[in-house]
Structure 1
Amino acid sequence: MGFPHIHMKSKTPNHLNLKLLFLGIFIAFLLLFALRSNLSSPQQNISPIPQGPSSKTSIEEIQTNPTSSKKCPPQPTSSCTKIPPALVQALTHYATSNITPQQTLSEISVTSKVLERKSPCNFLVFGLGHDSLMWAGLNHGGRTVFLEEDRAWIDQVKSKFHSLETYHVVYDTKVSHADDLIKVGQLEECTAVGDTRFSKCQLALKGIPSDIFEVEWDLIMVDAPTGYFIDAPGRMGAIYTAGMMARNRKEGETEIFVHDVDRMVEDKFSKAFLCEGYMRQQEGRIRHFTIPSHRDSLSKPFCPQEN
C-alpha cells in the first residue's frame, strides 16, 4: 500500500498461487453467502457511515456503499440469493488481473481467517492497494474503510472501484523520527487510555477524520503509510493510534494486523505499543495482535504482565 508504483509492481513467481487463493476465498465466501441467505440470524451492530456537516468539512469521501440491514424472508427471493455486485466485481477483477498484491498467500490467510469468523464487522485499513477490493468483499455486509496518504493514488483507484469507502489522511512524521518517538510513547500522556482525538501524545494521529474515532473497529490493519525510506512518514503513529483505539473501545476486543514487520519501525513499534503479550501470530511479514478494551479497568497495565 502507498505509492502507485509499489502497488502496480508485478510479482510473477507468486502470482498463480495468489490468484488461486483469491478464487478459492471468493468461491467459499459465495457458498457461505448462499447458505446464510436461507438462515435467519441476528445482525451485528455495524457502524453507519457518518452523516452531517463535520464529515463534509473534515474528510474527503470518495464514495460510500451503505449496507442494507434487511433480512431475507423465509423463502428467499432472487434479490436475496443473487450474488452482490461488489462480490461479482471483486471475483472478476482478481480472476483477470495480472497485478499481485504486496502480501503473500500465507500473510493474507492470517487476516482472512479472522474475517471469516468476525464478518460482517467494522474493518479499518491504513492504506489503499490492489488488495482493498478483496478486503471489502470478504467483509460483505460490514463496513470497511481505507485511509490513504496519496491523493493521486486515491483518484486512480476511485476510477476503477467506486464502492470503496476511502479517506485522504495527512501524516506529519518521518521514519527518521522513530527513535525519538518510541521514547515519547513511554510518557504518561501516551499510555493513558482515552479518546485519541484529545490525546496530548505526540504519537497520536491528528490528520485522520474525526469520525473514524467514533467507531469501535473490530479489525484494524496497518499497511500504510509509506515507510521504506528515511523521509517517508512511517507507521509509528498508525501503529500507536490503532492500539489506543482498541484500548479505548467500550468493551470487547480488537484484532490488529501489522504488515512489513521485517522493518525496524513496524517491528519495534508493534511490540512496544501493541504488546508482545497480546500477539497471537506472526506469519512472514505480518503480525496479529488481539487487544482487549481497557476502559473496564483503567488500572490494567498498558501491556500484559509477562510470565
Structure 2
Amino acid sequence: MKTSSKPAEVDLLPSSSSSDDNHGGGIREMTQLLILCSIFVFLLLSSLMILRKSSFAPSITIALPSVAKSKPIFPQPASSSDTLFGSSRRKMSSGEIKSISAALSRCNNITHCNFLVFGLTKETLLWHSLNKNGRTVFVESNAYLVRDLESNQPEIEAYDVEFATEVTEMYDLIESVNEQVRNECRPVQNLLYSDCPLGINDLPNYVYDVEWDVILVDGPWGINSGEAAGRMSAIFTAGVLARSKRNGEKSVDVFVNEFDREVEWICSEEFLCTEENLVESKGSLAHFVIGKMNHDSNRFCLNSGS
C-alpha cells in the first residue's frame, strides 16, 4: 500500500513583529549617528572658520595720544648760553654793532682799549672778541649768569652787582641826584667812596681806577616798569666814569642801547646830556661822546641847571 508523505514547511523569514522591532532600532541608531556626525562637522567647520579669520584678519594699531613731558612748576634759571644767544633779549642790528665796533677800532689804533659793558647779552662774546687786544669788563645784575659765564668762558671778566633801584623811583632818584650834585652825586668823583643813590660803588676797587675808553649801557635787562631795576644807575655811573677820566685828552664813547625807552631817554638827557653830547643814533642805540670835566664841576650838562 502506497503512502504519500508531505514535507514540513520551514519558515525562513522572521516574523513581522520581530522585523519591525529590528528595523526601528536601526533607524534610531542611524539618526543618532547622523546627529553626532552633524555636530562634529559643525564644530570642525566653526573651528576652521575661526582659524581662517584670525590668520587673515588685518592687524589693528591703536594710536594713543602722545603725552607731553611735564614742565617744571617753578621756572628754572636760564643758562648763559640761552640768555646770550637764544633768549628773548633783542639782538642788535648790524648797523648798531658796526657803530660800537668802529669806536673800539679807533680806540685800539691809539692804545689798548678799556671797554666797560653793563649787561650780559647776545653780543657778549662778540664784544670780547672785538676788543681782544684790550681789556673788556662786564657788569651784570644776574649773579647766576655771571657764574655760568665764568665756568664756560673763564677768560671773560665779569662781575655781578645788585641794583637797589626800581623804575617807579626814577624821577625821585633824579631829583635826589640834583639835590646832592655838589657833594655825594658830583659828576666828577671816585664812586667807590660815594653814597649817591644812583652811584654803583660795590665793584672791585681797581675798576674805579681804570681809564675807560668805551662804555656800553645794555643792562640791567628787563622792562621799564614796575619793580624792574632799570638802567638809571648804569647811565649815571657811565656819565661819572667818563667825566672823571684823569689822564689824556681823549673823550669817552658812551653807548646806550634801547635809547627809545623812557628810562634810557630821560636818564641820558640828565646825565649824558643829549643836546650836547649825542653824536649818532642808529636804531635803538645812542652814541654819546663825553669829555673830561674839572674836579670842581657841579652840574652834568653845561646848558642846564642839573
**TM-score bin, normalised by smaller chain:** 0.5 to 0.7
Give the aligned partner of residue 121 of structure 1: 113
Equivalent of 1:242, from 220, 238, 245? Answer: 238
CA separation in 2, counterparts of 1:281 and 1:167? Answer: 29
Query: Aligned pair in 2 of structure 1 residues 273, 107: CA closer, same or farther (>3 Å)?
Result: same
C-alpha contact 1:227 1:235 (8 A) present in aligned 2: no
CA deviation vs aligned residue, 1:231-277 (integer Å, no higher than 9, x gap): 11111011001101111111432111111112111110011100010
Shift of 1:118: 0.7
Structure 1 position 223 matched with structure 2 position 221: no
C-alpha contact 2:114 2:213 (8 A) present in aligned 1: yes
CA deviation vs aligned residue, 1:199-255 (integer Å, no higher than 9, x gap): 232111123222210111001111011241421111101100110111111143211
CA separation in 2, counterparts of 1:137 and 1:107? Answer: 16
CA separation in 1, counterparts of 2:90 and 2:130? Answer: 16
CA separation in 2, counterparts of 1:154 and 1:287? Answer: 26
Give the aligned partner of residue 45 of structure 2: none
User: Identity over aligned residues, as a percent?
Assistant: 35
Give the aligned partner of residue 160 of structure 1: 152
C-alpha contact 1:173 1:233 (8 A) present in aligned 2: yes
C-alpha contact 2:186 2:298 (8 A) present in aligned 1: no
Matched letter for residue 119 of structure 2? G
- Any gaps of 5 or more consecutive residues in structure 2? 1-76
Shift of 1:299: 4.8
Query: Aligned pair in 2 of structure 1 residues 280, 300: CA closer, same or farther (>3 Å)?
Result: farther
Structure 1 position 207 matched with structure 2 position 195: no
C-alpha contact 1:181 1:203 (8 A) present in aligned 2: yes
Structure 1 position 176 matched with structure 2 position 168: yes
Shift of 1:155: 2.9
CA deviation vs aligned residue, 1:51-97 (integer Å, no higher than 9, x gap): xxxxxxxxxxxxxxxxxxxxxxxxxxxxxxxxxxxxxxxxxxxxxxx
Query: Aligned pair in 2 of structure 1 residues 194, 110: CA closer, same or farther (>3 Å)?
Result: same
Query: Aligned pair in 2 of structure 1 residues 134, 8: CA closer, same or farther (>3 Å)?
Result: closer
Structure 1 position 103 matched with structure 2 position 92: yes
| Corresponding pairs, count | 216
CA separation in 2, counterparts of 1:10 and 1:149? Answer: 16
Give the aligned partner of residue 232 of structure 1: 228
CA separation in 2, counterparts of 1:112 and 1:165? Answer: 19
Give the aligned partner of residue 35 of structure 2: none
CA deviation vs aligned residue, 1:148-180 (integer Å, no higher than 9, x gap): 111221233334322111111111111111121
- Any gaps of 5 or more consecutive residues in structure 1? 12-99
Give the aligned partner of residue 281 of structure 2: 282
Give the ranges of 4+ consecutive aligned residues of structure 1 lying more than 3 Å apart after TM superposition.
Answer: 2-11, 297-301
C-alpha contact 2:192 2:208 (8 A) present in aligned 1: yes
CA separation in 1, counterparts of 2:256 and 2:244? Answer: 19
RCO comparison, higher one (Cα < 8 Å, 6+): 1
CA deviation vs aligned residue, 1:98-146 (integer Å, no higher than 9, x gap): xx96211111111111111112310000111221111111112110001
Larger Rg: 2
Counterpart of 1:134 in 2: which secondary structure?
Answer: helix
CA separation in 1, counterparts of 2:298 and 2:269? Answer: 18
Matched letter for residue 234 of structure 1? G
Matched letter for residue 201 of structure 1? C
CA separation in 1, counterparts of 2:147 and 2:188? Answer: 36
Shift of 1:283: 0.8
Q: CA RMSD in A?
A: 2.4
Counterpart of 1:129 in 2: which secondary structure?
Answer: coil
Give the aligned partner of residue 66 of structure 2: none
